[in-house]
Structure 1
């Protein structure tokens, strides 16, 4: 930690620029989103009275684009990345002109000085909402938190990750599973970030909630096709969640009270409107709900979580800003006296954003993160606690150079160090008869350099491409077992052991990752896009469960566990109708994967210092089609998505011990061919709404018992080929009502700031379907045949009520 602080301070000192003070930087270079035009918003007020100015003109003459402020003085205008001159005008006030350099969504508040003068006519042209057609990348999903606030949710909590599962190509194996799957990929193949800081578990309560507090989230972007070169280390997707930019002018407070959890956040400006502090917290109290269930095991169970956010921002001047982000979350889940899990996340991140010249911007970030987890069995002679986890250091310098509004070049370098926490077994209590045990875990470091270029060549062709190169080292202290050549790795084939000292390099991998995406404009409302991406992943989540548990092992690549590699091709057709009221798209993709981690039967994964003896290496294949129809405006809004997704694994070798399914490819655990989602929202008055979600997906594959035979009085099951059968299909209907008539309309904290509130009532799994999570077998004795049982996590309708308030 001391090294992190020292490195951060030194880097800040060496990168402090001497810049002109006449350009205002909006957003951050690291948040440039190729699939989304940045949104500039703000409030226009009278410089003396502070009252909002309604009808003020906001205009960019070069682009012939503008808007006007509403009754509260608020305005919004989308502008391409780059430098712009904005003119603010209103009758009776001085004309005001501001130079900005915009990278991503941000705010610019304006105070106008009154004066009587004549104003030339200004024609305002609003920009059409056609970014899905005009964007240059494939497979990108962008959502604002405001778009999902009215959707039905589990226990009333607005949730980023659960909303993603309603989009084409994103799904999960069911309630009770952590993470999500993108285009047939595994959960560990998704890079999930909070403000650019990686999270190794983004789930609360085994996936029923995510770790992102909705009061803090501004927007989120999911890259599932083309992944920009600035992101690396995962094969399937990148999810970056951006937090709200706290106000530097006024105090704000918001929160919500639900039947299972409550939350509160505050924005505190200080230091003469140069600094601001955001504090937010959320905690659950759901045990009382479990106590109402008739099942005695559930009644004796417990589930608890909390998360907290703190963000400090300081503007040194218009061209320099520093920030500090602190995040922490913790979960504890216990199922009766049988088993339980505990896990936590910690993030510490420093940022320095600088405008080095009029068209070159820099963002330096230094971060430290820790993921800790444990699983436990609290009763019996073998009651235990098993701990593991991982921590990381990351430093990144990201630079963006704007040639003009049609051409943006970005480049940078990134340094990552990962240190596995020791795997430690301890007795749960004094009555436990087990002995303590511990094994050390591996360490790694990565150095990556990258460059990307987004260039609008002409009116019909725009290209977004680049390259990333990474050098990876597995380093000591560690010991590596050597095995007999041309034989399966096992304890009996170990020949000797090589020991490595502190920081000594053990294994090295490297590789180029070219990435390119192009958009061909077919008409003002339609386009064709295509992309190719190569990605590499040097860390693996080791679990023999269908869905990773919080205690799954994060394992870095070693001499015996090679990095995963993927090549993905995507094409898509995008068409908007009726002045962008309707958005439609059809995308096709094909992905090949090398070095997938598979497992031998009855693999021992925990406390195994020769883990490679229980692992197998395979190849993967995924392909599919995604149809997306979205209605953006009107009394009814929402979307319909359908995805046909296939994903297969092949583990073949000349040695039968290293082969699965006789060397033939088989459906992966995540192969769910058909996924259909309908999301609909109906306005009820000015702010109230009714919403529904309807979800259908094919049951996932399982390996079942096909027959039984008896041997010396014992029934022996004969299993099918790997993943030959499927569990029942998944169907779920959710509805919600949001009532926002503002019962506090006659009360205010400030005359210009009324209290606003809303009430959300939702019903999750309205059809009360007993959807299967898995199928397992039990038998009562040696001579009886195993009987199949269906495991369901949520088999009943889950009602919830949440009250939200802000001022």
Structure 2
């Protein structure tokens, strides 16, 4: 070839490359007028006018305020004027804009992309999209250039009219785990969906070209440009927020707080949980849940919690759909949930989904990590009295993964620091989690969860206590098609406690209790269309209780055996719910659940005289039922209704009404849940609990959706809640109906929440005013408590305030402050003494007439991280802090002793001094 031809062709190639590069870097022109606006408003306006995708670190831009006026100038010129003399830089590439501080990001051509001539053509004339996908499921890496087009469905020359459905999964690009709660929004149709607990989504859209905007909590926002021919599937992989842009938020569209139809729902990510200081420094899910509005506890280091005036047994606590009956370790200082295993936490205080039943007040739904499907990773932590280890990785790459975690304690050294009389005490616990996830094919996934925990303690006595949880279940998720999928779950749950005395062989004894449940449920979701989602299913739980087994613990023991007969029952439910979007502003979710409860033999049931108290003196006869014979049936519908109306882009009004039934009761005449408390099934003499709640809330996001605010009011009614006669004996009681009283109650309150989600300073403030009253009005129950008048419940605490504040000075150093205040709980006190029949008697006040002193506590912690180099063997961090910073002696309870003929009162404080802590954490 002559040299002149070579020169000519080279010259033409250079011109083409220059032309292609010029087309790629061409930016839009905008007109703006800003006066001292914050970066969030600046970005929001530019996003709306350009359609570009903005990335930035809010912490670095907290102090920036923009004053600028421009008329039809290119975007790069506008940004140059805005950042002039500020030290801030920008970079524009492929419809994306990056803001940085000090140094600009270097951009270049994306691999394999030199521009597309299809941008201005109708979808049905696009000659050759970049990516070609048929109805088979395809992976779409997040790193792929977002301006590429992806064909979905069977390709045809001309796209017809009508709609088609896209379904698939959103997954973490690094670990392959599902991204729960990721939102997929389509601007053209103003429609969107949220991924479920498996990261699954399905959405119906008009055929043709669409843009999917994908956002996930803790993930880098992304988008996909698609051409929709017919039904098809996608796997969208998202990246974690990169280190240099760790706090990247495209805040302009984070409106889930406003747009979600449910109210009374709080979602926590594990990152937020780990920032809150707790006793001994280990992240604790239950301690953080207690900082949410409407959630309280009766005191420090307690096991249970109370939600909107409900008792502790009215909360359904689930971990991967396994029921956890005792969610605590080590006297309530630690929760049963390993923070390194947990992925997501949701608390339902109202708008409880139809698929949940069996409890009146709330559902705490904890989801564990599935395990890394791409590589082996792990983490470990060492504290003052506990340590933990977690490993995860692929069994079969991209298909099967596992997550294994465990915790244990070495607290004996701490107990030896106690006074002499307590130095021989012992306390320990351990727990183990194993989760396995396996993808069989495009339509079938299997999930296996197992959990084992055990606590043992002995406090300066010859009596040893222990309790344990054992749970296992398996889930099968099946996609029938793009619109219908099911989740079948089968599992077993077990809780047991044991008390043993052994030092004195003559009096040595063992006492144990256990509850076993075998459950099965089938949940179905049908996406009828983009406005209508239907949920339906059924579930069944078989209960087997052993309320008490008392027997000798040595051959020399003179203890007489005593066994309370076992109880068994079958609780079932069927439900149907529908979420319908009437307009873009009005959405309604309505459903009904019908529950059926059967109490079964063998059992010997006592019959009492009608219209008289159920006491031994009113006993008539008994009826004996054989094994599995039906003794008593309870049933009824449960209504679930909620609605949302948008009053503006960032403002909505929500309302809801729920009715629920509870067939199992926790028998406890102590203020806090104790390991020795006994569960009791509803039977012919103990009715199930019933409750209904109406709630109303207003939700408003501020400053480009970086601040969430909400106010909710509620009113709740309770019926057949169990309270106890004075002096009731709940252990080894063969006829518990003689000592319990069915009461009715009412609870009402207002909850405030302000939450800042981004920036160097973030956290939330919550305040709750609430009241809970009970009364016993059944004239057939005998003597009425408080003469039949309302009295405060044991957990009635009118005022509850929480402040959680976090401030990040840099990517390596941050601090957290927690402040808590609440009204003291009610107590009943002796108010006088008198003599009767020659002996001294004590006269008590009305039930719960007085209160212990108010509660106040502040905690502080510092988190120091190692360097953020990507390619290193381990990543380390330290957490140092102080629990109960001010050393306030908060009263847990009051008690009285008699000495030298004088009655003296005392306060018991759990943590009466500041408690320093340090934790070392490592990731590998």
Same fold (TM over 0.5): yes
Contact 2:316 2:364 in 1 (8 A): yes
Which has the greater radius of gyration? 2
Matching residue within 430, 447, 460 for 2:585: 460
Task: Look up the match of 2:918.
Answer: 801
Given the alignment of the two structures, is residue 371 of structure 1 paired with residue 495 of structure 2, yes or no? yes
Contact 2:492 2:516 in 1 (8 A): yes
Gap change, CA 1:626 and 1:297, over 3 Å in 2? farther
Task: Look up the match of 1:280.
Answer: 405
Task: Look up the match of 1:233.
Answer: 358
Given the alignment of the two structures, is residue 397 of structure 1 paired with residue 522 of structure 2, yes or no? yes
Matching residue within 851, 866, 881 for 1:726: 851
For residues 599-655 of structure 1, the C-alpha deviation after alignment (integer angstroms, 9 at most, x for no partner) is 111111111111101111110110001011111112111111110010000012335
Deviation, 1:305, is 1.0
Matching residue within 358, 372, 379 for 1:247: 372
Given the alignment of the two structures, is residue 602 of structure 1 paired with residue 727 of structure 2, yes or no? yes
Tell me the TM-score normalised to structure 2 length: 0.75
Q: Distance in 2 between matches of 1:485 and 1:513?
A: 29
* Residue correspondence of structure 1 range 38-77 to structure 2 within 5 A: 40-43=170-173
For residues 326-376 of structure 1, the C-alpha deviation after alignment (integer angstroms, 9 at most, x for no partner) is 111111122211755311111110110111111100100000110001345
Given the alignment of the two structures, is residue 762 of structure 1 paired with residue 887 of structure 2, yes or no? no
Q: Distance in 2 between matches of 1:427 and 1:806?
A: 49
Contact 2:797 2:822 in 1 (8 A): yes
Q: Distance in 2 between matches of 1:461 and 1:213?
A: 40
The secondary structure found in structure 2 opposite 1:418 is strand
Name whichever of 434-443 and 216-225 sits farther off. Answer: 434-443
Task: Look up the match of 2:458.
Answer: 334
Deviation, 1:97, is 8.8
The secondary structure found in structure 1 opposite 2:414 is helix
Deviation, 1:221, is 0.2
The secondary structure found in structure 2 opposite 1:634 is coil
Q: Distance in 1 between matches of 2:362 and 2:591?
A: 17
Matching residue within 315, 329, 334 for 1:190: 315
Q: Distance in 2 between matches of 1:168 and 1:589?
A: 12
Given the alignment of the two structures, is residue 299 of structure 1 paired with residue 428 of structure 2, yes or no? no
Name whichever of 257-266 and 268-277 sits farther off. Answer: 268-277
Task: Look up the match of 2:898.
Answer: 779
Matching residue within 102, 117, 137 for 1:22: 137
Question: Where do 5+ consecutive residues of structure 1 fail to align?
Answer: 1-18, 27-37, 51-57, 67-77, 111-123, 750-754
Contact 2:547 2:680 in 1 (8 A): no
The secondary structure found in structure 1 opposite 2:738 is helix
For residues 743-778 of structure 1, the C-alpha deviation after alignment (integer angstroms, 9 at most, x for no partner) is x849734xxxxx222111121111111111111111
Task: Look up the match of 2:254.
Answer: 129
Gap change, CA 1:778 and 1:59, over 3 Å in 2? closer
Q: Distance in 2 between matches of 1:96 and 1:135?
A: 26
Q: Distance in 2 between matches of 1:712 and 1:474?
A: 47
Task: Look up the match of 2:443.
Answer: 319
Q: Distance in 2 between matches of 1:404 and 1:225?
A: 26
Question: Relative contact order (C-alpha < 8 Å, sep 6+): which is higher?
Answer: 1
Gap change, CA 1:79 and 1:682, over 3 Å in 2? farther
For residues 229-285 of structure 1, the C-alpha deviation after alignment (integer angstroms, 9 at most, x for no partner) is 110000000000001121211111111111111111111212343211211111111
Q: Distance in 2 between matches of 1:622 and 1:88?
A: 42
Report how many aligned residue pairs link the two structures: 727
Question: Where do 5+ consecutive residues of structure 2 fail to align?
Answer: 1-133, 142-167, 177-183, 193-198, 215-223, 240-248
Tell me the TM-score normalised to structure 1 length: 0.85
Matching residue within 214, 223, 237 for 1:108: 237
What is the CA RMSD across the aligned residues, in angstroms?
A: 3.0
The secondary structure found in structure 2 opposite 1:147 is helix
Q: Distance in 2 between matches of 1:187 and 1:268?
A: 37
Given the alignment of the two structures, is residue 678 of structure 1 paired with residue 803 of structure 2, yes or no? yes
Q: Distance in 2 between matches of 1:420 and 1:24?
A: 48
Name whichever of 263-272 and 468-477 sits farther off. Answer: 263-272
Gap change, CA 1:705 and 1:81, over 3 Å in 2? farther
Deviation, 1:107, is 7.2
Gap change, CA 1:405 and 1:686, over 3 Å in 2? farther
The secondary structure found in structure 2 opposite 1:779 is strand
Q: Distance in 1 between matches of 2:752 and 2:567?
A: 42
Contact 2:252 2:705 in 1 (8 A): no
Q: Distance in 2 between matches of 1:305 and 1:151?
A: 23
Q: Distance in 2 between matches of 1:86 and 1:44?
A: 24
The secondary structure found in structure 2 opposite 1:149 is helix
Task: Look up the match of 2:905.
Answer: 788
Q: Distance in 2 between matches of 1:100 and 1:556?
A: 49
Deviation, 1:591, is 0.3
Deviation, 1:741, is 2.7
Given the alignment of the two structures, is residue 350 of structure 1 paired with residue 465 of structure 2, yes or no? no
* Residue correspondence of structure 1 range 262-277 to structure 2 within 5 A: 262-277=387-402
Gap change, CA 1:728 and 1:255, over 3 Å in 2? same
Q: Distance in 1 between matches of 2:533 and 2:140?
A: 16
Contact 2:251 2:706 in 1 (8 A): no
Deviation, 1:40, is 3.6
Gap change, CA 1:542 and 1:101, over 3 Å in 2? farther
Contact 2:370 2:401 in 1 (8 A): no
Gap change, CA 1:311 and 1:25, over 3 Å in 2? farther
Q: Distance in 1 between matches of 2:200 and 2:451?
A: 31
Deviation, 1:482, is 0.9
